Amino acid sequence: MDSVIVVLDWHFSPPDFFEETITISRNDYTMVIENGKVEARTTAAAYDANASMRNELHEALNDRFLGVQLLSHMAYELSKPRVTKLHSDGHKDFFMELEGAHLKLTGGTVDFQVTDQHGNIVSDSRRDRIEKKKSLAELVSAYRSSDAVLSALLKSHGAAVRDPDNELVHLYEIREALCKRFGNEHAARSALGVSSSWPRFRQLCNDEALRQGRHRGKNVGGLRDATDVELMEARGIARSMIESYLQHLDNPKGAGP
């Protein structure tokens, strides 16, 4: 009897987007993410029984990229999956899909370690970041497809990464979507357990005379570019809003992370 294994593979950039190998095991497939490549393996029986499996795996994988993007603020490129059927006699069947648009890569990271007097590592920024990437990727993968608000938040965040000229406009959409979700700003801040940073976020996106901001038409002739510090601050607040909402979805009775 011909035993057939179905392999789906993707390519992505930057190749160190996840920074280390990620292995995902589910009932009907295993997936390995490593060095710019992704490979998922399943049986032909499982694959043929689910006509949507290819798309479902692609969406689940892209959710992980969106989760990591929250922390890295880095654009990524993910190919469509190629499907290969491996037969027991050694021959292979290939199935491919044409590629779509590409995204621009930006960003960079500097890491550090803190050691005690005995040389033991007490803090490792790279390890901490990787663990947080995993956590965010898992939460996004768990809830993005079933929660329209989360999907909208991630769409706005992705737009902020890809469209830096209007970055603060896109980031402010995150606040607006959360206020609409909970009824108003007070209710949103209460439900998510965040408060102090919201007025500052509104100031950066609305009140400052910034070219990347929302109300630049009110300051014609007096606009300036946002500083790196201001952009990092706005990104951090927007990310904290999304992280708090993810924690709210994961623990509805809780009040933020």
Q: Is the pLDDT of residue 71 over 70?
A: yes
Q: Which of 103-117, 123-137, 145-159 has the highest mean pLDDT?
A: 145-159
User: In terms of Cα–Cα distance, which of 225, 59, 42 is closest to 142?
Assistant: 59
pLDDT at residue 131 in the model: 84
Residue 256 lies in a domain: no
Domain that holds residue 15: 1-146
* Domain limit, last residue, from 122, 146, 170: 146
With a CB cutoff of 8 Å and minimum separation 6, the contacts of 116 are 122
Q: For residue 91, what pLDDT is reported? A: 75
Q: Last residue of a domain, which of 146, 166, 185?
A: 146
pTM of the model: 0.73
Query: Which residues contact residue 247 at a Cβ distance below 8 angstroms, ignoring those fewer than 6 apart?
Result: 139, 254, 256, 257
The structure tokens listed for 120 are 């033991």
Q: Which of 115, 130, 146 is the last residue in one of the domains?
A: 146
> In the structure encoding, which two tokens stand for residue 213, read together?
């901001």
Question: Alpha helices, DSSP H only, in 50-166?
Answer: 53-72, 125-143, 148-162
